[in-house]
C-alpha cells in the first residue's frame, strides 16, 4: 500500500515526539564512570560495557512510579483492599493446588508454610501472571543515575543492582537488552532484585538452572530460601491479634521496622500467647480499619517478610493474605 510522503513525515515526527515524552537521555558522564568502575572492579571490558549501555534509555514513567509506590502513598485501607479480595483468594487456592508438592517440599526444606510463599508470589506478580514489562537495561540505569529527588542513598543501591545485573548476565549468558521485570528492576515470578537472584535463587526443580522467570518450582524454592536466609523461624508465629485495654493511650504503639519490646512487657494489651516465653521479642503494629485502630503483635517471622519489601504495610498484607489462604484453601489437606 502506498503511503504519501507527507504522512510518512508526520508519522516519523509522531514517533520521535512520543519517545521524547516518555524517555530521556541518561547522564553520559555517569555511564562512562560506571563502565570504568565495572571494568576495574569486576574485569569487564570497558568498551563492551559502554556499548551495552548505549542501548539504555532513561524512563520518565519509571521515575514517576518510583516517586509514588503504593506502600507509601495509599492509606492502609486502600492498600489492603488491593490484595485481600475474593479473586486473589480464589487465584491463591488454585496456585496452591497446582503446586502442592513443590510447596510441601519447600516447607520441609526451609520451614516456610505453603500459605506464606503463595501469598508473597500472589502479591508480587498475581501468582506469576504479571512479572513486569520494563527493560532492566532502562529501569536500573534510570534509578541508578536519575533517582527521584536525587536521593544519593537510593542511587547507590540501584548502582549496586546495575552492577549485579551485569554480573548476572555474564554468569547466565542472557541478552541484557531483552530481560524485563518491574519498574524497580525486580525479576521473575517472585520479583527478586539482581543481587538476590545471584545469591538466593535456587534450582528447586533439579534441571541445573536457577530459573525464577519460567520455573514455578525454582520460584517457590527461592522464596523459601530467601525467607530462611532473613531469619524465618520454622513453626514460629507471624502475628497475633491484640486488643488495647481500656484506659491506655492509643499513642502507646507505633509501627516500627524492628522487634522493639517483649511479650512480657505488653501490659497494655490482651492477646492469646499462652506458653510463650516473656522474653520473646515482638513489636506492635497498628492501622485503622473500619474506623477503629486494629493492633497486632508481630514476631521475628513478620520481619523476615519485611525484608522482602521494607514496608510494614507490605509485611502485614502478606501475613493477612497467608492467613486467609490458610483458612480458605483447606491447607490441612495438603
User: Domains of the chain, with CATH numbers?
Assistant: 18-69+133-181 (1.10.8.350), 239-298 (no CATH)
In tens, the pLDDT along 148-194 reads 998 999 999 999 999 999 999 999 999 999 999 999 999 999 999 99
Those residues with Cβ within 8 angstroms of residue 262's Cβ, 6 or more apart along the chain or in another chain: 278, 279, 280, 281, 282
| Separation CA 95–CA 129 (nearest Å) | 11
Q: What is the pLDDT of residue 8?
A: 52
pTM score: 0.90
Range name among 128-142, 189-203, 242-256 with the lowest pLDDT average: 242-256
| Separation CA 253–CA 286 (nearest Å) | 7
The percent of residues in the chain predicted with pLDDT above 70, rounded, is 90
Q: What distances in angstroms separate CA 79 from CA 85, 91, 170, 229, 283, one per listed residue?
A: 11, 19, 38, 27, 21
| Separation CA 226–CA 305 (nearest Å) | 9
| Separation CA 95–CA 122 (nearest Å) | 9
| Separation CA 103–CA 321 (nearest Å) | 16
Amino acid at each position: 500500500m502506498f503511503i504519501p510522503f507527507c504522512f510518512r513525515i508526520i508519522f516519523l515526527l509522531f514517533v520521535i515526539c512520543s519517545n521524547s515524552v516518555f524517555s530521556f537521555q541518561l547522564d553520559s558522564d555517569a555511564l562512562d564512570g560506571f563502565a570504568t568502575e565495572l571494568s576495574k572492579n569486576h574485569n569487564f571490558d570497558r568498551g563492551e560495557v559502554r556499548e551495552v549501555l548505549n542501548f539504555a534509555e532513561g524512563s520518565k514513567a519509571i521515575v514517576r512510579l518510583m516517586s509514588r509506590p503504593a506502600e507509601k502513598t495509599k492509606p492502609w485501607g486502600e492498600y489492603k483492599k488491593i490484595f485481600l479480595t475474593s479473586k486473589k483468594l480464589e487465584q491463591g487456592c488454585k496456585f496452591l493446588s497446582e503446586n502442592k508438592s513443590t510447596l510441601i517440599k519447600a516447607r520441609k526444606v526451609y520451614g516456610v508454610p505453603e500459605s506464606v510463599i503463595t501469598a508473597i508470589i500472589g502479591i508480587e506478580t498475581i501468582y506469576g501472571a504479571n512479572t513486569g514489562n520494563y527493560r532492566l537495561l532502562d529501569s536500573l540505569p534510570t534509578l541508578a543515575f536519575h533517582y527521584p529527588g536525587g536521593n544519593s542513598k537510593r542511587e547507590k543501591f540501584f548502582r549496586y543492582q546495575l552492577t549485579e545485573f551485569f554480573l548476572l548476565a555474564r554468569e547466565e549468558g542472557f541478552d541484557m537488552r531483552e530481560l524485563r521485570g518491574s519498574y524497580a528492576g525486580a525479576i521473575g515470578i517472585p520479583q527478586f532484585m539482581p543481587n538476590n537472584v545471584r545469591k538466593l535463587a535456587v534450582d528447586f526443580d533439579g534441571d541445573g538452572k536457577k530459573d525464577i522467570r519460567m520455573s514455578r518450582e525454582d520460584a517457590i524454592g527461592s522464596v523459601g530460601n530467601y525467607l530462611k536466609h532473613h531469619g524465618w523461624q520454622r513453626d514460629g508465629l507471624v502475628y497475633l491479634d491484640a486488643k488495647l485495654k481500656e484506659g491506655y493511650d492509643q499513642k502507646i504503639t507505633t509501627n516500627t521496622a524492628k522487634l522493639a519490646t517483649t511479650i512480657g512487657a505488653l501490659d497494655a494489651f490482651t492477646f492469646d500467647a499462652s506458653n510463650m516465653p516473656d522474653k520473646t521479642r515482638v513489636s506492635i503494629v497498628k492501622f485503622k480499619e473500619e474506623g477503629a485502630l486494629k493492633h497486632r503483635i508481630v514476631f521475628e517471622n513478620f520481619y523476615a517478610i519485611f525484608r522482602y519489601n521494607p514496608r510494614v504495610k507490605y509485611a502485614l498484607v502478606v501475613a493477612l493474605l497467608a492467613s486467609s489462604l490458610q483458612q480458605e484453601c483447606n491447607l490441612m489437606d495438603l
